[in-house]
Amino acid sequence: MNDISAFHLAIEDLLREVSDKVILPRFRNLAAQDIMDKGGDDPVTIADRESEAMLRERLERIIPGLAFVGEESAHADPAVLDGLKGDCWIVDPIDGTRNFANGREPFGILVAMASGGEAVTGWIYDCLSGRFCVAQRGKGAFIGKDRVFARETGETPPVAAISLIFMEEAQREAMRSHIALHYTLTDIPYCAAEQYPRLALGANDVSIFERTLAWDHAAGVLWLNEAGGKAARLDGSPYRVDEIGRTGLVGAATPQLWDDMVTRLNALGQA
């Protein structure tokens, strides 16, 4: 990655600046009027909006003219999602807003570049620790300058983080009755910027995601796959950022762990 290291450093500097100037000063310092509900218990804060505005302005300087698909801009105008079909930035200005708004960790910033419906580069920044994950398609996954190779926990049974909040009740019951008993269940961080690193760094073995919005998953899916883990749709097809409204995604520390989970889901008719 030596030929693009300066580019990654520029993105890291930007994400750190946004975090330090916009996000962290608001952490545990939000007034009631600074937190809004977009509907369906989906909070947004003044920091989300200010972070997205700063990211949009500064990313435009880095690559002028590239379409910008941000979580908050897409909520305000769904036509923004059309940008996912071409070359674009994909931005979650605060991933883990639910945590952030309640004064809890983890939370971070997710940025990806996509072309033709597929993420080609992704960055994951943890605002509190400064952990900076980066991946470029075909060139591996890194934390800072260190190459990352996904590893499983080594636990028996494997450790699973299964998000039930966006599932229908029948799906939840099937997960509890037929899937959960094969795994040691662990907490859901409510933050993809934390969940994908957990899958590669030996903390979790497998995770199921129902809602798969581009700003939540573009960077993490690319990073995990480049680390040698596996994240894909339940039918085995690659995750695409332009499949708006499609649900269901499994991420795992190894392809074998992914296969085991999807085999069980297939047996339930979930995949």
Q: In what order do the strands lie in the sheet with 184-185?
A: 184-185, 159-162, 206-211, 247-252, 230-232
71 is in an annotated binding site: yes
187 is in an annotated binding site: no
Nearest to 134 by CA among 269, 5, 251: 5
Express the helix, strand and coil content of the chain in percent, nearest 5 each. 40, 25, 35
Nearest to 42 by CA among 240, 239, 190: 190
92 is in an annotated binding site: yes
Nearest to 17 by CA among 118, 125, 123, 148: 125
Annotated binding site for Mg(2+): 71, 92, 94-95, 216
Annotated binding site: 71, 92, 94-95, 216
